Amino acid sequence: MEIIEKNKGKEKYYYLKHNIRKKGKVITKEKYLGKNIPKNIEEIKFSFKEELKKDLNKKLLMIKNNFQAEWKKIPESVKEKEKEEIAIAFTYNTNAIEGSTITLEEAREIIHDKIAPNKSLRDIKETEAHSKLFLKMLDKKEKITKELLLKWHKEIFGETKADIAGRFRDYLVRVGIYSAPDWQEIDRLISELISFTDKNKESLPHQASRDSLSLKLRGITMPSLSNKKMNPVELSARAHYKFEKIHPFGDGNGRIGRLLMNHILWHSGYPMLIIEYKKRRSYYKALQKDEEGFVSYFIRRYVAIHKKMIK
């Protein structure tokens, strides 16, 4: 979304301009602002975005409602098997993205059959630990806190990377050409991220804190407005993106970030999103974009995967 200027005779007029993709075509939408840019421009931008998202939010709500209707029909014993199948698929894909050599069939052997393949002990242990944590996450709705993120990390990597498990990094890291924030900022940035997810429940606009300045400088948007009306699918995308940009752990950030996004989706009543190993290139490419670019990718992918639930 951008502010554009139009000249009509000797007068200048300002508009908000935003491009949206609909049925494979890019459509430009504009909103008149006046001869001057209003002081409450951030509120106007927020309202304009919400207007444009009405159709999309209807689709997302339809996905949620139809998913819940189908899920309620399933007997409890079958639900447990279904959750295990999701755990197998999610664990295989999220670990494979990070370099695990365990195949999908081997992940099923480890998780369901309790059989260890002839593979790296580290990969086997991380597969076991991840699937146990994932199933635990589905069954228990826990408040997202710094302590929860640290606990997740320790449960996955406690046996394989004891020197970094369950603790934030205390050194600088680079991810490709991206330099993650200084390690001394991590506690504060994670607190801001948690505050951002919590503010989904607020109803009144609030001013951005000074602490969010460092994130803005790094291209991580911490909106100055409440995200109460933000759909959980969008919230999960933004939370994942922000977490990956903070990059708080020495290793395992992708796995914890994907758990975080699915925690938000599942406990908001929405079906989850598994980032497939074979589609990892588009995922990596999206993470290299700014936040709006990643959110756009995420929502398009989510709708495409769950399109059968849009009835």
pLDDT tens, position by position, 255-298: 999 999 999 999 999 999 999 999 999 999 999 999 999 999 99
Q: Is the pLDDT of residue 166 over 90?
A: yes
Q: Is the pLDDT of residue 10 over 60?
A: yes
Q: Is the pLDDT of residue 28 over 70?
A: yes
Comparison of pLDDT for 11 and 119, the residue scoring more: 119
Contacts of 157 (CB under 8 A, 6+ apart): 126, 129, 164, 165, 166, 251, 252
Give the model's pLDDT for residue 8. Answer: 85
For residue 73, give both structure tokens. 């029909």
Give the model's pLDDT for residue 132. Answer: 98
Most confidently modeled range among 177-186, 202-211, 225-234: 177-186
Q: What is the mean pLDDT of residues 136-163?
A: 97
pLDDT tens, position by position, 30-59: 888 888 888 888 888 878 877 777 888 899
Q: Is the pLDDT of residue 235 over 60?
A: yes
Q: CA 258, CA 244: separation in Å to the nearest integer?
A: 9
Q: Is the pLDDT of residue 182 over 50?
A: yes
Q: What is the mean pLDDT of residues 149-170?
A: 97
Give the model's pLDDT for residue 29. Answer: 82
Give the model's pLDDT for residue 228. Answer: 52
Give the model's pLDDT for residue 306. Answer: 96
Structural domains in the chain plus CATH codes: 1-52 (no CATH), 59-309 (1.10.3290.10)
- Torsion, Cα 297 299 304 309, to 10 degrees, reads 170
CB 165 within 8 A of CB 157: yes
Q: CA 251, CA 249: separation in Å to the nearest integer?
A: 5
Q: CA 120, CA 185: separation in Å to the nearest integer?
A: 35
Comparison of pLDDT for 251 and 5, the residue scoring more: 251
Q: What is the mean pLDDT of residues 245-251?
A: 97
Closest CA to 140 of 257, 266, 240: 266
Q: What are phi and psi of 169, to 5 degrees?
A: -65, 150
pLDDT tens, position by position, 94-113: 999 999 999 999 999 999 99
Give the model's pLDDT for residue 219. Answer: 52
Q: Is the pLDDT of residue 211 over 80?
A: no
Give the model's pLDDT for residue 86. Answer: 97
